[in-house]
Structures are given as C-alpha cells and as structure tokens.
Amino acid sequence: MSELLGIDVGGTGIKAAMVDSLKGEFITEKIKYPTPQPSTPDNVSEVLNQLVDDFGYRGKKIGCGFPSIIKDNVVHSASNIDDSWIGVDLGAYFQENVGSEVVVVNDADAAGVAEMQFGKGRGQSGTVLMLTLGTGIGSGLFRDGILVPNTELGHLTYKDSIWERYASNGARKKKHLSWKAWGKMLNKYINHVHFLFSPDLIILGGGVSKKYEIFEEYIDLTDIVTPAEMQNNAGIIGAAMMAL
C-alpha cells in the first residue's frame, strides 16, 4: 500500500500528513505541533503519539525525517534537537514508545528525495544540492539522482561558529535581519557551497522557500538556484517515500 504517514521533525515544529508515496502528494491536511522544549526523546514521542492518534494510524508503518545524522536508524548528531537523542536507536525507540514501525532518515535527505522524484530535481542529471532553510540549514546531495546521505552542510565552519547560525531562516528571525541583510548572507553561503561542490542545480527548501521572490534579487547564482516546488511539504513526502 502506497498510503503512509509521513512525519517531519524539526527544531521548531513537528508536522505530519498522510501521503500517497507513489504520487508524491498529500491525501490529508497537514497537522503541525510546536517542537517541545526541551526536545528530549520522551517529550518528542508524546507529540508523535498525538500525531498517530490524530490520523488513526496506530501500529502501521511510518516514515520520519529527523534533524540528525542517521545511520541504521541510530542518531549520530543533534542538529537543533536535544543532545540526549545521540546514540538512540530510533527504530527500536519508536517501536516501544509509539507502537509503530518507523523508518527514520535525515530530514533534509527526505526533502531532497521528494524534490528529486516529483519536484524541481525531476529528470536532473549531474550534481544537485537541496538546502532546507529552517531553524538550521539541512542539506541533501545527489549525484545523477543518487543520494549521498547525511551531508550536514549547514555545519560548515564560518567565523566563530557554523553557517546555519548566520544564514538559516532561524538566524534571520533570531537576529532580526532584514530580507536584504539576510539575503546577502545566504548568498555568501550559497556561493561557498557552490565553490565546494559545483552543483548543476541548487534547490532551496523549507518554509522560507515560498518567499523566494522577496530575496531572489540578492542571490548571484539565479541560473542554477530555484525554490523547491513542494516548499515546506517536501520533508513529509520524502519521509513517507523512503519508508515505502
């Protein structure tokens, strides 16, 4: 069956919808809750259980995008989520605490998979880079349609910190940056990753992608930079696709 529940766990919000994974589209409305603070395993699992109940989906297979390096369902980093997740086997944890088989992948990788199959990356050969601009910056890297998982390019070093502390949408809000100031900072970041990987296409995802026309004038590489077709829904769809 191609109809699966997709969940996207972010640093600010946790959202979900039922997805037709073969068509790459929602078949229900999206439901979103704030990410609990602190975002510990127990607190996050409460939200996941609420979402499972909202959709009447107890005991069925779920796809989940998670803001971490994920290897064999185990968390190896904590990007905008509580450090207590590191080392947790998410498959086993969610089976015990949510009562469902949950396939967990890096959240930006999930968004990239959806965009490559059904969005702006469809049919694109060469190197494609998906950047999700949210609380932090996630990245999904593809070569001839094949995912190179867990790249975490938002964590490249910049100044005394990392790039996502300066160029994410979360940084724009926290620092109260104008669209011009933030757009120029984002442009510096895009040029940096472009220098490192020479991608043929850069797709900007996350909630801010729907406002691309506001900051587009500050982006140099407009010939290869484009907003995500699925905008902030790509992570949910991609998580369900990867579970299928």
pLDDT one-digit tens code per residue, 24-60:
999 999 999 999 999 999 999 999 999 999 999 999 9
Q: What is the mean pLDDT of residues 171-192?
A: 98
Please tell me the predicted confidence (pLDDT) of residue 191.
98
65, 8 contact by CB (below 8 A):
yes
Structural domains present in the chain? 3-108+234-243 (3.30.420.40), 122-228 (3.30.420.40)
> In this model, does residue 1 exceed pLDDT 90?
no
Residues 6+ apart with CB under 8 A from 142: 112, 116, 121, 127, 128, 129, 130, 148
Long-range contacts of 27-31, Cβ-Cβ distance < 8 Å, separation of 24 or more:
27/3, 28/55, 30/233, 30/236, 31/55
Chain Cα centroid distance, residue 158: 21
* Helix 41-54 / helix 90-97 crossing angle, nearest 10 deg: 60
β-strands 62-66, 3-9 pairing: parallel
Q: Cis (ω within 30 of 0) for the bond into 38?
A: yes
Average pLDDT over residues 53-70: 95
User: Model confidence at 23, in pLDDT bands (50, 70, 90)?
Assistant: very high
Question: Mean pLDDT over all residues of the chain?
Answer: 96
Tell me phi and psi for residue 170, to 5 degrees: -60, -40
Confidence band, pLDDT 50/70/90 cuts, at residue 186: very high
Indicate the helix (H) or strand (E) that contains 93: helix 90-97
- At residue 244, the pLDDT reads 87
Per-residue pLDDT, 79: 82
Read off the pLDDT of each residue in 210-226 and give the average, rounded to a whole number. 97
Q: Are 74 and 19 in contact (CB under 8 A)?
A: no
Position 74 pLDDT exceeds 90 = yes
Are 19 and 240 in contact by the 8 Å Cβ rule? The answer is yes
Beta strand 127-133 pairing with 137-143:
antiparallel
